[in-house]
Structure 1
C-alpha cells in the first residue's frame, strides 16, 4: 500500500480545503464543499471564507444567513457550525444520538432521571409558536416541570434533543447579537429528514464521501474527529469498494476518493490566515499534516493561525485595526515578506477605514 508522507497529505488537504488556490465558486457552494464551517465565534467564518473564495464579499454570507440558505446550528462534535440548509436537514437526525450523549458527558449527574424524550417534546411545544428564544428563556419555560437539573443543563440538552437554528442577526458581518433559537423546521419551512432504518447507513455514506472530498485522504479516526459520530463502520464497509487506500507515515490506513486531487508534494503553498477553530486543523484526529505536535494545543485554544508553506507557523490577532503576527518559528526574509503581504490584504478586509497595517513580531530564537 502506497505511503503518503505528511507533505503529500498537507498538499492534498490544502487543495481540498480551497487553501492552495482561492476558488472561483459561489459562497454557498464553498460552504457546502467544506461540509460547513465551525462558527461558535460568529465572525470567524468570514475570515475562513475570505482565505478560500476569490473576491469574497462578506455581505454574501450575511445574505445567505438571512435568506435561510445557510444556518447556524449545533451539529458536528456538538459545536456550532455554519451549514447549508440542505445539509442540516439531511444530516441532523444522524447526529441526534451523538448530540445527546455529548451533553450527558457534561451534565450526566444533573440530568439523571430526566426523560429526555419528554424534555424534547416539551421543548418543541415551547418553540412551536415560532417565537425565537434565548437559552435562558428556554430553561425558564421548562424549569417548573424540571426544577432539579438547573437552567444550563436543561437548555443545553434541549438544543441537543430538538433541532434548532440560531437566528440572525447573530453571525451577520460586523454585528454583535446574542443567541436566539427557533425550531429548524419552522425557520426553513421543511422538516428534518428522518433517520434511515437502513443498516448500510446511507446518510453516513454521504457524510464519508463529503468528508473525503473536503479533507481526504484520511483515516476513520479522522472522520470521527470531524463529525463526532462513532457509528460509521457499516457506512465505511458499504462504500469501501468505491474507495482507494493509502497509509500514512504512522502506518494508519487512509481512505480516499479515487478521483480527488492529490497535488505534487512540491506544489508551492501560499500564505494563508485561518480563523479560530478552523476545520482545516480540527477536522482530523492526527493533525500532524498541518500543525506540529508541539503546537497542537493552539488548535483547541481558539488561536488564529498563519500557514506558511502549508503549515501552522504563526498566530495572529487584530488590535486597533492592525494585524499582529507572532511567529512560532524562524521566518526567512521571503517568509516575512509573504506574510506581510497577505496580512495587509487581511487588514484591509477586516477594516472599516481601509487600514492595511500589519506588524510581525521577531521570530523566536
Structure 2
C-alpha cells in the first residue's frame, strides 16, 4: 500500500504541538478529509490517540472525492474515524456534538479549478455557509481555509504581504472562480462571527508542499517531481522568473493546528514560509543541489489547461502569526525538497 506521508513528519508535527491535550476527548469534523491537507490532520489526530491521549479524539471525515486522487485516499479502519462520502454543498445532518470544524474542502489546483469552476465557487460559498450554520448549531470552533490567492497580484510595496492588504484581484478571468470564492468565504466567516458569535478563524495558505501531493496535481513541484521520475526535461511555464515561497508540510500543518488552538476569535492568519523567495528557474537550481546532478529543463508557453493571469510574486508576511500564535517555520527549502523528492521517487510513476 502506498503511504502518502512520512511517519517521521507526522511524529514531528505532533511533538511540536504543546497544546495537543486540548483535543483529548473532543470531536472534530474535517471537510476535504481525503485531500492533501485533510489527510495530514487525520494522521496527526491518529498519532495523538496512539501516543498521547487516554480519551481519544473522534473524527468525522467528510469528502466528496471529486479531486482526492488515489494516493492514500482510503482510510485504514479506525474506530475513532467516521468517514462520510458527502458534498458539503448539500446540507449535512450530524447528531453528536462537534467541538471543532476544520473546513478544508476545496479545489486548490489551478488546473482543477479551471476544469471545475462552478464546483470551485460552490464549495467555497455554499459549502462554507452550510458548515458555518453547523458550527452555529453545535457551538463549534470553525477554521476556514482561504488562500493567498485572495491577495491577487500585489504590488512590490505590499510584498511580503500582510493580512491587512486588501488585494489586487480581478473578478473576471479564469482564476476568478477560485480567488473570489475564497473572498466570499471569508466574508461569510466575518458575518457569522459578528451576527451569531461563531468562533471563526481564517487561514491564508502560501504554497504548501510535501509528501502526499498527487502526481497529477499540476502545480510546479509535483510537475517537476513527476518529470524527474520519468527522466524527462522539466517544463517551465512562461519565462520562469515568477517567484514564490514554499512551506513544507510539517510547518504548514503545525501552523494550522496553532490557529485552531490559539487563534484569536474572528482573526485571519497568513500561514507559510517567508523565505527564500525563489523564481521557478531558481527551483531547478535548488533541485540540482538536492539531487547533486544536472536536471534538464525547457521553458515553454503556458498550456491551455492552466489558467492565465498568474501573480508574478507571492510572499507572506507572517509577523501576526509569529506574535499571536508563536508560529515559526523550521524546515528550510532544500531540506523540504529533499524529503519531498525522496518520497516522490518511491511513489510517483513518472508521467
Fold shared by both chains (TM-score > 0.5) = no
**TM-score, with normalisation over the residues of structure 2?**
0.30
| Larger gyration radius, structure 1 or structure 2 | 1
**TM-score, with normalisation over the residues of structure 1?**
0.29
